[in-house]
Amino acid sequence: MLGTGPDLSDDLFSDFDFSTGAVAAVSGGSDSTALLLLLKHHLDRTLPAARLLAVTIDHDLRPGSAAEAQAVARLCAEHGIAHRTLIWSGGKPSAGLPAAAREARYRLLAEAAEAEGIRLILTGHTADDQAETVLMRQAREEKARDEDARDGRGLAGMAPATLYDWRTWIARPLLGTRRAVLREMLERRGIGWTEDPTNVDRRFERPRMRIALAGDDGEARFAQVIAKAGHAAAEREDLGRRAAALIGALADSPASGLIRLDRDLANGEDSEAAVYALRILLATVGGVSFLVEEARCRALFERLRSGALCATLSRTVVDARRTGIFLHREARNLPAVPAKDQALWDGRRRITLSDRSGGLVIAPVGPAAAKRFAPEGGVPASVLRRALAAEPALWRGGERLDFAGGDAPASPMAIVPVVSPFARFLPAFDLKPAAAVATLIGAPPLPPLPFRGHDRGGAWAKA
């Protein structure tokens, strides 16, 4: 059931793993203020030695934002909570401001957590936020109807936990709790909060949804939306489980940058899962953050059923032959950039450098160098060489110093694959397909969920 009791801390936090501590994202609004105090109460009673750091992100978008951050700092001082304010400095985009602010917020929160060796960030998103999110995504899905670009994944709403940058968990323990319950608790304790004026600014999408849910039929609509989100979350997890099974059974990676799919992927009974698996693999091989539209991938999939073809989608060449379906990065728009440690190259390779001298460039191996590698394991020579040619190498003054494969000597550059569509944000709904692809391409394994004892990937949906 949705949280309604006066003391929610036991139910909210009892399953969390606080072994490295927690960062609480606190804006000063009612939701995050309630989160902080409930969390503090829980830790004081159960894990008094656990570290708790409150972090306020000042987006520097309104004249009063600095004063609001100072108010949070005073509240934290009163309750003996460590606090830090981080400012989103620099220019702000004229379009897409909410999305840019969100990206900056999570980046700064993750940097603060990493600096303290903390692997868990908690945010104050509530059931009301969840309903608003689902309504926004539903409106976008409806808008995309004419483009036939809907797949319904977004209707699951926010996940109870999301892995950020493949390292830090962002958890949302209040997703099953109504905002009114939290405000009632704060009022009972005589604790105030800040009202962000943008929350009622109709120029932004979320306030418009919030106003819609406050109408005469708001409660009925809220219940309907939350139920829809729970159903969509269960369907998304099930689809991901089936796609992961197909990837594990029918895909292998015979060389760096190359994935081979068994022809049975196109001819199996579960075409829905096969298309989803293909969308994820195309994005991973192509190094893109978003899955290609389902309709476009479905059209490609139907062509794969018919036999041999060579096509390009999501920056990925799909070369279907009798011996298998081969996926590799297309040769266009491959970057050549100054070498930088921990850079994400082409959206698909994380680079670590041991040679920090200047003048180094990371650029593709290129077709000339790739020609010297002989095919093996039944991979056509042309396919193997095109795949290897698109892999990163270290260059200085036109001389290639490193190659990501074959029998190359010890390298001043380490290359780690990333699961591109989930590299920045991985919702708990998608853990199984992400883990399957990570195993396939040799990406680092996923860190465990921030819950003790069991997987709560869809637990909120059962509320």
pLDDT in tens, 34-74: 999 999 999 999 999 999 999 999 998 888 889 999 999 99
pLDDT at 219: 87
Would you state the structure tokens that stand for residue 453, as one six-digit string?
A: 């004892």
Kindly tell me if the per-residue pLDDT of 212 is higher than 80: no
Identify the band that residue 201 occupies on the pLDDT scale cut at 50, 70 and 90.
low
Of 33-42, 319-328, 346-355, 418-427, where does mean pLDDT reach its minimum? 346-355
Average pLDDT (363-372) is 88
Contact residues for 421 (Cβ-Cβ < 8 A; gap 6+): 280, 283, 284, 288, 289, 290, 291
Asked if 82 contacts 76 with a C-beta cutoff of 8 angstroms, the reply is: yes
pTM score: 0.90
pLDDT at 148: 45
Over its C-alpha atoms, the chain yields an Rg (Å, rounded) of: 24
Average pLDDT (262-281) is 96
Nearest CA to 426 out of 284, 258, 217 is that of: 284
Half-sphere exposure of 313 (CA within 13 A, CB side): 26
In order of start, what are the domains of the chain with their CATH numbers? 9-232+453-462 (3.40.50.620), 238-330+426-441 (no CATH), 337-417 (no CATH)
Burial-class residue 54 by CB neighbours within 10 Å (0-12, 13-18, 19+).
buried
Express each pLDDT in 213-226 by its tens digit: 776 677 888 999 99
Alpha helices in 214-332 (DSSP H): 218-250, 264-267, 271-286, 294-306
Express each pLDDT in 283-317 by its tens digit: 999 999 999 999 999 999 999 988 889 999 999 99
